Amino acid sequence: MEVRAAVHRDFRIAAIDDRLYSAFIEHMGRAIYSGIYEPGHPEADAGGFRKDVLALVRDLDIPAIRYPGGNFVSAYRWEDGIGPVEERPVRLDLAWRSKETNRVGINEFAQWAREAGIEMMLAVNLGSRGLEDARNFVEYVNHPSGTYWSDLRRGHGIEEPYGVRMWCLGNEMDGPWQIGHKEARVYGRLADETAKALRAITPGAELVVCGSSNDEMPTYPDWERQVLEECYENVDYISLHKYFGNNSRDTLNFFAKIEETGRYIQSVAGVIDYVKARKRAKKDVFICFDEWNVWYHKRAEDKERIKRWNWPEAPELLEETYNFEDALFVAGLLNEFIRRSDRVKIACIAQLVNVIAPIRAERGGPAWRQTIYWPYQMASLYGRGEALRVAVDGPTYDCRVADDVPYLDIAVTYDRAAEVVTVFAVNRHLHEPIDVNVSLTGFDGLGLRMHKTMQGHDLLETNGPEAPDRISMVPGASVAVEDGHLRGKLPALSYHVVRLDVGRPGGRNG
């Protein structure tokens, strides 16, 4: 099978916001407790956070992290997580039918995020609570001193404000399952008033309003229209959420859900443009895809388990074990985010540790990288700079969710400062290799810097504590650069990251 692709240095989609490779962590299951935080673990630091997990997180180079939810935030009292730990109340978490001890609150999490080198993106409760509590939270977090909430923070040992700039105005407020679920107009007005109050405290705040929980909601996409008509002038992003699965065991249809996601993004972008035109607005609103991942392996089982259990503390929940097929899917989805980076500025993998996560950690035991860790890391490390347009000419297939799906999934980025072009490519074909020829125009003296690949595994193969790196990125040797063309053979069901030096024909390793 032959595929030709063409890229030009000056045919740019957009500058990629680094926050396209952000993450999400919620007070849910073992994401926090025995995930990032486990006092008494052999790897725990003085604050109780696991150093082995932190090392794996650091290696991802995550720009921002959304916290503390998620469904959890819609009934969360943030004040429960401040002050002396021994005085904090234990609450019932209505979202996941478990107990929340509040041993980790905003100050502990901020300490961990600082150690991880990650900027916080905080969510306020607009479900069971509202504007006043959101205002107090922002004052506690961001105001320097001289007021009740800022001085309370200082009394808790945090002299300097955190200066958090990204704030989510609730979570999935379109969902009937959400504590405090609201109709679109009601929520839009609440979000608008909350946005104005938050900006009064933090003028440069970037605010995310809730879009649809997924593109199968009966209110989608009219929810986006109604909400934005109420708050367009005072928000910066609208959220998208989408989870993926392959219950039908149809691999090609599974991969094609990436194309379906592109339609989802395009449709919401169209709603944004409509509201902007209707309001005669100058400002733009972008997309924050702040929940995404593969989630189906244990979803039905966990749904039944939650009904049976009696409010446990940090129970095992949504602990998906990801396989090679999932890793190839995540690689392609990240390619789609790059291709849509003109509209999608922030995206958060959900979640980071244990709960539908690229990192797993056993209580009292080891931590390891799941298969999806690797494409997420590759995109985060190397998918910075500018997204370039790619014209592809090659075979396609039709399936239930989309037609004309290309077998070669490809995205290209250009880091002008470092003078490096990066090609991310997935061969989706089940059996045939692809002979690929990528023409790279406008670049002088291209040289091969790096080729890493993930290939040769059974689709159901996984990583685990007994074989943590069974599936990983390894050096590749099947591509070469000659006369401005990247040529090579990509085996069936494989993922490739190729980095090319510009202006250094000899290239180098690294």
How many other CB atoms sit within 10 Å of the CB of residue 260? Answer: 17
User: Which of 22, 237, 235 is CA-nearest to residue 119?
Assistant: 22
Q: At 240, which amino acid appears?
A: L
CA dihedral for 439, 375, 115, 171, sign (positive or negative): positive
Is 291 catalytic? The answer is yes
Q: What is the DSSP string of 381-395?
A: HH--SEEEEEEEES-
Among the listed residues 172, 206, 320, 325, the single catalytic one is 172
* Rounded Cα gap, residues 36 and 359, in angstroms: 10
Name the token pair of 69.
Answer: 């939810």
Radius of gyration of the chain (CA): 23
Measured CA distances, 4 to 289, 330, 394, 406 (Å): 31, 23, 6, 12
Residues 88, 170, 200, 84: what is their CA dihedral angle, to the nearest 10 degrees? 10
User: Which of 174, 61, 163, 83 is CA-nearest to residue 126?
Assistant: 174
Is 119 catalytic? The answer is no
Measured CA distances, 74 to 71, 130, 271 (Å): 6, 10, 26
Among the listed residues 259, 291, 320, 325, the single catalytic one is 291
List, by residue number, the catalytic residues.
172, 291
